[in-house]
Amino acid sequence: MTEKKTVLGLVGSPNPDGLTNQLVTAALDGAQENGATIEKLQMSEYVVDPCQDCLPWTCLQTLECKYNDENFEFLNEKILDCSALILGTPVYWWDTSAMVKYLILKMFRVFAMSGPLNGLPALGLAIAGGSGTGLVSGLKPVYHFFQIMRMRAIDPVPATRFDFDKALSKAMEQGRQIGKMSESRERFDSWEECLLRYDSLRYIGDDNASEIRLVAELAAEAVESERKCDISGDLAHADHLATSGKVLESMTETLKVYQSSAGLFGKQQ
């Protein structure tokens, strides 16, 4: 009988009880519902040291960092051994947390050229739990990691406090898909095939205007219906401006919607 492998969930936040943890837990619950064995790790307990970019590039051949970094050794063994990866990060200044970035950069240096993770099912989750801005930008480094390592990623879950409950449901739904995919690994036959998969994923190719549009929409949706009339600006008008080529005016209008909605949402809390 073959050993049942594990869907691994990494919580990339210094706060083990925070929103990142909730998202990763929801995704793992979904995977478990679909029959997967799961394991959750708090990255704050295993913070990796920065890659030293040492030369000669020996880890390329040995597949081991030559510096003593027990946390990296522990995490990379877990990742290399799992049947699917769920990686959650808090959004810090439109980016990942530092602990996630350190892991990614070291994984690149040691493993990117040999491709041991080709086809590994992967899901990225990000919580922009403050202003909500950067909800997509924070996911991009995570998906860049998945792409360079040729993992078989599925659509990410960008989350904000405006839509957190919906994001938890979405994380669970994506987790179910990951649970199913974890039963067998489908490797990419070529780099081109891998690149095209990443082009087809939601959000990852979004530009700044789309990202601002998304957070404005989420904030506006979160405003109680009786207060929606107090939202200034109009997303339909912003869209019309964008299609007429007035992209700067469009973004200004979108930001008006975002700022007034975020203000109204804040008063609801």
Site residues, ligand FMN (CB under 6 A): 13, 15, 18-21, 90-94, 127-134
Q: Which of 114, 109, 115, 113 is nearest to 55 (CA)?
A: 109
- C-beta closer to ligand FMN: residue 124 or 129: 129
- Complex with ligand FMN: residue 28 or 59, whichever CB lies closer: 28
Task: Supply the minimum distance, in Å, between the C-beta of residue 92 and ligand FMN.
Answer: 4
- For ligand FMN, the closer of residues 132 and 233 by Cβ is 132
Give me the least distance between CB of 12 and ligand FMN, in Å please: 8
Compare residues 90 and 233 and give the one whose CB is closer to ligand FMN: 90
Q: At its nearest, how many Å lie between ligand FMN and the CB of residue 215? A: 8
Min separation Cβ 139 and ligand FMN, Å: 12
CB of 115 to ligand FMN, least distance (A): 31
